[in-house]
Structure 1
Amino acid sequence: MRDNMKPCQHSLSDDVLYKDVVVIGNGPSGMVTSFMLAGNIPHLKQIPDDLPIDEMLKIRLQNLPPGQNLLEVDLMALAEGLEGRSQNPIALLVDNLLRPCADLGIQEESLIEWRYDVEKQIEHVVLGRGPPGGAWPTFPGGVRTLSPGAWLALPPHAAVGAGGGRVPARAVAAYCRRYVQACQLQRYFRSGVVVTSVTRAPRAGPPCHVSCPRAANFWVSGYDKSAGCGFRYLCRRVVVACGAGDRPNALPPRVSRRAVHSLADVQRALQLLADRGDGEKSVLVVGSGVSAADAVRLARLAALPVRHVHRAAADSLAKLSPVAYPDYCHVYKMMLDGPTGNHPNYTPYPEHIIVDIEPVTRETSLKHKEEFDDETLQPKRVKLLNLVTNKTVEVTANLIAVLIGSKPDLFFLQTNFNLNEMDIQKECIKCMDKKDENQRLCFLKNHWNNLKSVLGQGIQSCKSRYLNYSEINGNTDTKCLETNCNERKLSSDTEIDKSAVNCKCTHINIIPDSDKKIDCDCQPVNPYSSGIGFGVDPTKPVDGRSNPIAIDKSTHEILNAPKGMYALGPVTADNFIRFIPGGAVAIVSHLHREMKE
Structure 2
Amino acid sequence: MKNTMRDNMNPCQHTLSNDMVYKEVVIIGNGPSGMVTSYMLAGNVPYLKNIPEDLPIDEMLRARLSNLPAGQSLYEADLLELAEGLEGRSQNPIPLLMDNLLRPCADMGVNADALIEWKYDVAKQIDHIVLGRGPPGGAWQSFPARVRTLSPAAWLCLPPHRATPSAGGDATARVPARAVADYCTRYVHACNLTRYFRSGVVVTSVRAWPRTGTPCSSACPLAANFCVSGYEAGSGRALRLCCARVVLASGAGRAGSLPHVARHALHAPAALQRALRRRRRRRRRRRRPAADTTTPPVLIVGSGVSAADAVWLTLRANLHALHLHRTPAEALARLSPQTYPDYCQVYKMMCDGTSGNYPNYTSYPEHVIVDVTPESTDSPESDPDAECTRPKRVKLLNLVTNEVQEVTVSLIVVLIGSKPDLFFLQTNFTLDCIEDCIKCTEKRDEIRKKDDRRQSFLKNHWYYLKSVLGQSIQICKSRFSYTEINGNTDTKCMMPDCNKRTEKCTCDSKSNMNEECEYEGSYKNFLEAKFTCQCDNNPYSNGIGFGVDPKKPVDGRTNPVAIDKSTHELLYAPKGIYALGPLTGDNFVRFIPGGALAIVAHIHKQKSEAQ
TM range (shorter): 0.7 to 0.9
- Does residue 269 (structure 1) correspond to residue 275 (structure 2)? The answer is yes
1:415 CA drift (Å): 1.3
3-state SS in 1 of match to 2:210: coil
1:402 equivalent in structure 2: 414
Which of residues 193, 198, 223 is equivalent to 2:231? 223
Bigger-Rg structure (1/2): 2
1:388 CA drift (Å): 1.1
- Does residue 248 (structure 1) correspond to residue 263 (structure 2)? The answer is no
Matches within 5 A, 1:26-41: 26-41=30-45
1:79 equivalent in structure 2: 83
Which of residues 547, 550, 565 is equivalent to 1:553? 565
1:298 equivalent in structure 2: 313
2:404 equivalent in structure 1: 392
2:384 equivalent in structure 1: 372
1:71 CA drift (Å): 0.6
- Does residue 584 (structure 1) correspond to residue 596 (structure 2)? The answer is yes
3-state SS in 1 of match to 2:542: coil
Which of residues 144, 150, 154 is equivalent to 1:140? 144
2:424 equivalent in structure 1: 412
Cα distance between partner residues in 2 of 1:404 and 1:53: 38
- Does residue 190 (structure 1) correspond to residue 198 (structure 2)? The answer is yes
* CA pair 339-2 structure 1, distance change in 2 beyond 3 A: farther
Cα distance between partner residues in 1 of 2:234 and 2:393: 40
> TM-score scaled to structure 2, two decimals?
0.80
Cα distance between partner residues in 2 of 1:51 and 1:92: 17
Matches within 5 A, 1:318-397: 318-362=333-377, 364-366=378-380, 369-397=381-409
Cα distance between partner residues in 1 of 2:105 and 2:394: 50
Of stretches 371-380 and 340-349 in structure 1, the one that deviates more from structure 2 is: 371-380
Residue type at the aligned position of 1:141 = A
Contact 1:431/1:439 (CA < 8 Å) preserved in 2?
no
Contact 1:92/1:582 (CA < 8 Å) preserved in 2?
yes
1:433 equivalent in structure 2: 518
1:383 CA drift (Å): 0.8
3-state SS in 2 of match to 1:233: strand
1:528 CA drift (Å): 1.9
2:245 equivalent in structure 1: 237
* CA pair 83-166 structure 1, distance change in 2 beyond 3 A: same
- Does residue 258 (structure 1) correspond to residue 273 (structure 2)? The answer is no
3-state SS in 1 of match to 2:145: coil
1:104-145 residue CA offsets vs partner (Å, 9 max, x unmatched): 010111000000000110000000000000110111100110
In percent, how many aligned pairs have the same letter? 63
Of stretches 143-152 and 200-209 in structure 1, the one that deviates more from structure 2 is: 200-209
1:378 CA drift (Å): 1.2
* CA pair 19-432 structure 1, distance change in 2 beyond 3 A: farther
- Does residue 209 (structure 1) correspond to residue 217 (structure 2)? The answer is yes
Cα distance between partner residues in 1 of 2:525 and 2:550: 25
* CA pair 189-48 structure 1, distance change in 2 beyond 3 A: same
* CA pair 71-33 structure 1, distance change in 2 beyond 3 A: same
Cα distance between partner residues in 1 of 2:587 and 2:535: 30
1:51 CA drift (Å): 1.3
Residue type at the aligned position of 1:301 = R
Cα distance between partner residues in 2 of 1:349 and 1:531: 32
2:484 equivalent in structure 1: none
Cα distance between partner residues in 2 of 1:59 and 1:341: 58
Residue type at the aligned position of 2:212 = A
Of stretches 350-359 and 525-534 in structure 1, the one that deviates more from structure 2 is: 525-534
Cα distance between partner residues in 1 of 2:110 and 2:414: 38
1:438 CA drift (Å): 4.2
Cα distance between partner residues in 2 of 1:103 and 1:337: 31
Of stretches 305-314 and 147-156 in structure 1, the one that deviates more from structure 2 is: 305-314
Contact 1:2/1:120 (CA < 8 Å) preserved in 2?
no
1:435 CA drift (Å): 2.2
* CA pair 197-347 structure 1, distance change in 2 beyond 3 A: same
Matches within 5 A, 1:568-579: 568-579=580-591
1:68 CA drift (Å): 2.6
1:310 CA drift (Å): 0.9
Residue type at the aligned position of 1:197 = S
1:50 CA drift (Å): 1.8
3-state SS in 2 of match to 1:87: coil
1:316 CA drift (Å): 1.3
Residue type at the aligned position of 2:214 = P
1:401-456 residue CA offsets vs partner (Å, 9 max, x unmatched): 0000111110110114899xxxxxxxxxx99812235475265268x25x246xxx
Which of residues 304, 313, 316 is equivalent to 1:289? 304
Contact 1:46/1:66 (CA < 8 Å) preserved in 2?
no
1:66 CA drift (Å): 4.5
Matches within 5 A, 1:64-213: 64-160=68-164, 161-162=167-168, 163-164=170-171, 165-213=173-221
Contact 2:45/2:119 (CA < 8 Å) preserved in 1?
yes
Unpaired runs of 5+ residues, structure 1, are 420-429, 454-524
1:313 equivalent in structure 2: 328
- Does residue 44 (structure 1) correspond to residue 63 (structure 2)? The answer is no
Cα distance between partner residues in 2 of 1:108 and 1:374: 51
1:375 CA drift (Å): 2.5
Cα distance between partner residues in 1 of 2:302 and 2:313: 14
2:499 equivalent in structure 1: none
Of stretches 404-413 and 4-13 in structure 1, the one that deviates more from structure 2 is: 4-13
Contact 2:86/2:97 (CA < 8 Å) preserved in 1?
yes
2:475 equivalent in structure 1: none
Residue type at the aligned position of 2:33 = S
Contact 2:323/2:361 (CA < 8 Å) preserved in 1?
yes
Residue type at the aligned position of 1:529 = S
Of stretches 433-442 and 48-57 in structure 1, the one that deviates more from structure 2 is: 433-442
Contact 1:259/1:401 (CA < 8 Å) preserved in 2?
yes
Of stretches 409-418 and 303-312 in structure 1, the one that deviates more from structure 2 is: 409-418
Residue type at the aligned position of 1:107 = N
Residue type at the aligned position of 1:570 = P
Unpaired runs of 5+ residues, structure 2, are 287-293, 434-514
Cα distance between partner residues in 2 of 1:365 and 1:208: 63
3-state SS in 2 of match to 1:180: helix
Cα distance between partner residues in 2 of 1:355 and 1:12: 55
Cα distance between partner residues in 1 of 2:517 and 2:53: 68
1:294 CA drift (Å): 0.3
Contact 1:29/1:580 (CA < 8 Å) preserved in 2?
yes
- Does residue 55 (structure 1) correspond to residue 62 (structure 2)? The answer is no
Contact 1:2/1:122 (CA < 8 Å) preserved in 2?
no
Residue type at the aligned position of 1:177 = T
* CA pair 240-304 structure 1, distance change in 2 beyond 3 A: same
Cα distance between partner residues in 2 of 1:35 and 1:78: 23
Of stretches 387-396 and 115-124 in structure 1, the one that deviates more from structure 2 is: 387-396
